[in-house]
Amino acid sequence: MAELIPAAEAFAAILAEVVNGTVSADVEFVVTPFQGPPELAWVFPAGSTPAKPALIPIVAGFEPGAGPRLWLRTLYQVRLDDSGEHLAVVRSVFALVIDAASNRPAVRVEYDRDQGNEPDDDTPARHRRSAAHVQIHGASEELAYAQGLAGIRSMRSLDKFHIPVGGRRFRPSLEDFIEFLWTERLVPGLHDGWQDVLTRHRSDWLALQLRAAVRGDPSTAAAQLMQMGYSVVPPAGA
């Protein structure tokens, strides 16, 4: 059986390496146990609270000594999975923040394991957001037009739409989000060596997700391996 806090601390060290190797410097992620059952823990930058995570200044690409103009907001809530052997993310948020005083984001990626629809749900609930989703802050005349055609009188702004992005198993990672900021030119640059940092940690992340997907559907995994010529021996009682 794994232990939650050591597993969460190892995860926090990975997050710090990703952030400090790409957009910021000297950022420490800390682990704060959740007070009360179930056994959960928060993983966020030092100085955070669950209600107010500390913003991470984006310094890469800016002149040395210049005050930050953009920030990264990120936090995770974690627990052990049902087997008690693996760390599982219950909730995550990462966002590009454009105003520190108001904490105003431009775009954010959120995941809420227990409070949203998943792609494999039999009957997804209407008016319930997807567990993994993107929210964009801005305006869209096109969405306003579509809402008008649907007869909606109280129209929602763009940031109220939760755009699904893959569910619990294949959702975007922090590495994906940071690379998105660079490829779409939303940040002026990243630290030297950023590609190696993102590639290495994203490879680890994808391997973890693949293992979890196999644990969730071993029969499909076994069928694919046998189709590829592998010999698969099921465990006793399977």
210's tokens: 């693949």
| DSSP assignment string, the chain | ---HHHHHHHHHHHHHHHHHTTT-SS--EEEEE-SSSS--EEEEETT--SSSPPPEE--TTSPTTPPPS-EEEEEEEEEE-TTSSSEEEEEEEEEEEEETTTTEEEEEEEEETTSSB-TT-SSPPTT--BSEEEEE-S--HHHHHHHHHTT-SSPPPGGG--EE-STTTSPPPHHHHHHHHHHTTSSS---TTHHHHHHHHHHHHHHHHHHHHHHH-HHHHHHHHHHTT----PPTT-
Pairwise CA distance, residues 212 & 208, whole Å: 6
The whole-number pLDDT of residue 235 equals 87
The whole-number pLDDT of residue 74 equals 97
Q: pLDDT tens, 207-229?
A: 999 999 999 899 999 999 999 99
Whole-prediction pTM:
0.89
Q: pLDDT tens, 143-167?
A: 999 999 999 888 899 999 999 998 7
Pairwise CA distance, residues 187 & 30, whole Å: 25
Pairwise CA distance, residues 124 & 4, whole Å: 31
Phi, psi of 18 (to 5 degrees): -65, -50
CB 190 within 8 A of CB 34: no
The whole-number pLDDT of residue 202 equals 96
**163 CB contacts (<8 Å, ≥6 apart)?**
130, 133, 134, 135, 136
The whole-number pLDDT of residue 104 equals 93
* Percentage with pLDDT > 70 across the chain: 93
Amino acid, single-letter form, for residue 151: G
Pairwise CA distance, residues 238 & 234, whole Å: 6
pLDDT classification of 169: cutoffs 50, 70, 90: confident
Task: Report, as an integer, the average pLDDT of 178-200.
Answer: 97
Q: pLDDT tens, 87-132?
A: 999 999 999 999 999 999 999 999 998 776 665 555 555 546 688 9
Return mean pLDDT, the chain.
Answer: 91
The whole-number pLDDT of residue 128 equals 60
For the chain, give the number of residues: 238
Q: pLDDT tens, 35-94?
A: 777 799 999 999 999 889 999 999 999 988 788 999 999 999 999 998 889 999 999 999
The whole-number pLDDT of residue 121 equals 56
